[in-house]
């Protein structure tokens, strides 16, 4: 039986008078893939940023492996080694090549030996089909390649959980598939992941559980088949009608399967 890795309890996030997250609560088991979906502005990305302490919170608490996440400056580097995050705009250092972008933090922050880190990085790059681009700079890479480099960078820190914030939002359609394939492979490996996405077909294929947010609240929480085939709330039904529903009706349409 897997252990509970992450717990979010009555989380409140406000910007001034605007409540973005209103007493959000859920739990994530080790090895689980939780996909978070909902309309624009519902708080999906903010939720991930709160979990990784990139945003202060105004209420509730977040626990990692049973311990409340501390938000003091001394604790944050250790937290971000345990919870990795991949952003939609890559956030690669433009003056470093791909390999140096990946190895910088493990060497400088975790104080690991360079030879060991480089070997691990090259192995990960091979797994995502980019070993031959290790010495290229970000300007020489496509959007999909940069996003895969960003994923490898997060993996090389050996985190216990990974947060993915709309990682295909900045990509051209032909580049989306190469990134989503990497996430599907990570799910199959049993990585603990929280994924914010607007790709409904992919969400159905990769999720162990779907969290549907609207208005700063969890409106619905269900297994992917249950959510996509028979959503319980009218709000979720209306949301899904905005997509070409046949594209998410079956997991294997387009080749996505878990």
Q: Could you tell me what percent of the chain has a pLDDT over 90?
A: 78
Mean pLDDT of 56-75: 90
Q: 114 pLDDT exceeds 90?
A: yes
Q: Which pLDDT does position 257 carry in this prediction? A: 53
Q: Which pLDDT does position 256 carry in this prediction? A: 54
Task: Judge contact between 146 and 92, C-beta under 8 A.
Answer: yes
Instruction: Write the CATH number of the domain with boundaries 4-255.
Output: 3.40.50.300
Strand locations in the chain (E): 4-15, 18-29, 33-37, 59-64, 67-68, 83-86, 161-165, 193-196, 209-214, 217-222
Q: Could you tell me what percent of the chain has a pLDDT over 70?
A: 94
pLDDT band at 258 (very low <50, low <70, confident <90, very high): low
Residue 53, token pair as written in the block: 């302490």
pLDDT band at 1 (very low <50, low <70, confident <90, very high): low
Task: Judge contact between 197 and 35, C-beta under 8 A.
Answer: yes
pTM of the prediction? 0.91
Rounded distance, CA 116 to CA 112, Å?
7
For the stretch 210-249, pLDDT in tens is 999 999 999 999 999 999 999 999 999 999 988 754 444 4
Nearest to 34 by CA among 231, 215, 207: 207
pLDDT band at 253 (very low <50, low <70, confident <90, very high): very low
- Considering the chain, what is the average pLDDT of its residues? 91
Q: How many CB atoms lie within 10 A of CB 222?
A: 18
For the stretch 82-99, pLDDT in tens is 999 999 888 899 999 999
pLDDT band at 2 (very low <50, low <70, confident <90, very high): confident
Q: Which pLDDT does position 90 carry in this prediction? A: 86
pLDDT band at 34 (very low <50, low <70, confident <90, very high): very high
Q: Which pLDDT does position 172 carry in this prediction? A: 84
Q: 5 pLDDT exceeds 70?
A: yes
Q: Given the structure tokens 């309309």, which residue do they identify? A: 39
Q: 80 pLDDT exceeds 80?
A: yes
For the stretch 135-170, pLDDT in tens is 999 999 999 999 999 999 999 999 999 999 999 888
């Amino acid at each position: 039986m897997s252990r509970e890795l992450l717990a979010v309890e009555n989380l409140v996030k406000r910007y001034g008078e605007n409540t973005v997250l209103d007493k959000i609560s859920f739990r994530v088991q080790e090895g689980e893939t939780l996909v978070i979906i909902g309309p624009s502005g519902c708080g999906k990305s903010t939720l991930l940023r709160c979990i990784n302490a990139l945003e202060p919170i105004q209420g509730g608490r977040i626990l990692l492996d049973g311990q409340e996440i501390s938000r003091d400056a001394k604790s944050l580097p250790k937290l971000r080694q345990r919870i990795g995050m991949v952003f939609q705009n890559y956030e690669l250092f433009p003056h470093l090549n791909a390999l140096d972008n990946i190895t910088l933090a493990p060497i400088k922050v975790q104080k690991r030996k360079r030879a060991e880190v480089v070997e691990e990085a090259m192995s990960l790059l091979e797994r995502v089909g980019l070993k031959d681009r290790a010495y290229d700079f970000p300007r020489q890479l496509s959007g999909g390649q940069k996003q895969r480099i960003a994923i490898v960078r997060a993996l090389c820190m050996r985190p216990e959980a990974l947060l993915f914030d709309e990682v295909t939002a900045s990509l051209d359609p032909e580049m989306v598939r190469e990134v989503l394939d990497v996430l599907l492979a990570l799910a199959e490996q049993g990585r603990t992941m929280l994924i914010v996405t607007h790709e409904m077909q992919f969400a159905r294929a990769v999720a162990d559980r779907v969290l549907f947010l609207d208005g700063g609240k969890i409106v619905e929480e269900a297994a992917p088949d249950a959510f996509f085939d028979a959503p319980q709330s009218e709000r979720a039904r209306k949301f899904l009608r905005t997509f070409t529903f046949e594209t998410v009706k079956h997991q294997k349409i387009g080749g996505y399967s878990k």
